[in-house]
Chains A and B, each alone.
Chain A
């Protein structure tokens, strides 16, 4: 309970800082819009191919834009040694990591909402048919990306080349999650009925989230202190 309370405190503080500076959201949002705009010139918006590639396009945009958010996540603790102050406080490292992941998650979801609206306009795709299921897929996929981003954001925060290192490390690890999220998004955008193999993708998303959340919580002390 205490961990949850502290995680919410961290997330609230990060969101307050982000709303004030808009460093991550502006960068990630601008990146997403530019990529979607450029791809809209490359493909015919009326073709069936858009629904085929839509899932992949969206999730790659989310993953790349996410890296911009994750890089700032722990970097904002560096000025004035705020990270040391937090680690010397009663906050558990697990609550710090979870709070950071939660703030990342909410920022990414906001960016995804903007992206999907722009995607619908530029590519002439109606994404509202199965909004509930699509929201669930976005939430599950985004939580996995956010948790991994928080963990590796913490590990790379003191590296000089952290902007480069973070994506290099997290993208290979995100492959199973991205494939599952892409497949499910493709299915939902084309408004098809799910097959048994589609449920497997959903299970992969859930298992990925559970495994990486559990690992992050268990190894938080090692990640942040040692």
Chain B
């Protein structure tokens, strides 16, 4: 298998503070890497570099051998990434067009149905409940069937319905061969989906390897081993 994600000796500084220190990580095509670590460890910085949203001082970062800015990943950051003053349908249609999906209108309708927002498709997002917004964000992230998914704490603040929906979408993406890297504090959900696990601490990669059965039984195992 070829690595879909390749980081080699990546250093990122905020002023004098090194947010990432010599990160070298490869994620194989079709696998799902759960990026673990405490708050401030550098997970978001790493994911932003992979999404092409942040520059770095040293090293190299590549997605399928190209610069991250040349690859259109499905990205879900801390914000839901949709416009409050557009309707759900207008938002999905716009992002489908940006992603150059064929038949954006029907794809938007299909995803609205899929995430249970068909009846609210013409409502403005500002009128949505939190759960509805989260489901719309999932539709926006997955609607172009990306080859790579970069998800920053996607399970945080999700309700049960959205967690089930996200888990299903992630499993489906894996089945179609997509590569996934996601940061999370929800160890149980992450271990159920991940094929690989990486632990980052104070900007350094402390562990990278396959997810083992022992990690499913004891999701906090990795943290204790590297305490």
Interface residues of A (CB under 8 A from B): 6, 9, 13, 16-17, 20-21, 76, 79-82, 84-91, 221, 225-226
Partner among B77, B84, B100 whose Cβ is within 8 Å of the Cβ of A79: B84
Interface core residue of A79, A85, A225, A226 (most chain B CB under 10 Å): A85
Quote the shortest CB–CB distance from A4 to chain B (angstroms): 14
| Bound CA–CA A20/B75 (angstroms) | 27
Is there contact, CB below 8 Å, between B77 and A82?
no
Chain B residues whose C-beta falls within 8 Å of the C-beta of A221 in the assembled complex:
69
> Within 8 Å of chain A (Cβ to Cβ): is B80?
yes
SS class, residues of chain B in contact with chain A: loop
Is there contact, CB below 8 Å, between B84 and A80?
yes
* 17 extra A-B contacts, CB within 8 A, seeds A86-B98, A88-B53, A225-B53: A9-B97, A17-B85, A17-B86, A20-B86, A76-B83, A80-B84, A81-B78, A82-B79, A85-B79, A87-B51, A88-B52, A88-B73, A89-B72, A90-B72, A90-B100, A221-B69, A225-B54
Interface residues of B (CB under 8 A from A): 48, 51-55, 69, 72-73, 75, 77-86, 90, 94-95, 97-100, 140, 150
| Bound CA–CA A87/B72 (angstroms) | 10
| Bound CA–CA A226/B75 (angstroms) | 18
Chain B residues whose C-beta falls within 8 Å of the C-beta of A91 in the assembled complex:
98
Nearest 7 CB-CB pairings of A with B:
A81-B79, A85-B81, A88-B75, A80-B79, A88-B51, A90-B72, A226-B55
Is there contact, CB below 8 Å, between B86 and A84?
no
| Bound CA–CA A226/B57 (angstroms) | 11
Chain A residues whose C-beta falls within 8 Å of the C-beta of B90 in the assembled complex:
16
Take A84-B79, A85-B140 as given contacts and tell me if A13 and B52 are in contact as well, using a CB distance cutoff of 8 Å: no
Partner among A16, A76, A84 whose Cβ is within 8 Å of the Cβ of B75: A84
Take A13-B94, A90-B99, A90-B100 as given contacts and tell me if A20 and B85 are in contact as well, using a CB distance cutoff of 8 Å: yes
Partner among A79, A80, A89 whose Cβ is within 8 Å of the Cβ of B98: A89
A-B contact pairs, 24 of them (CB 8 A): A16-B90, A17-B83, A76-B83, A79-B83, A79-B84, A80-B83, A81-B77, A81-B78, A81-B79, A81-B80, A81-B81, A82-B79, A84-B51, A84-B75, A84-B77, A84-B79, A85-B82, A85-B95, A88-B73, A88-B150, A89-B98, A90-B99, A225-B52, A226-B55
| Bound CA–CA A150/B14 (angstroms) | 26
Quote the shortest CB–CB distance from B176 to chain A (angstroms): 19
Is there contact, CB below 8 Å, between B98 and A84?
no
Chain B residues whose C-beta falls within 8 Å of the C-beta of A21 in the assembled complex:
85
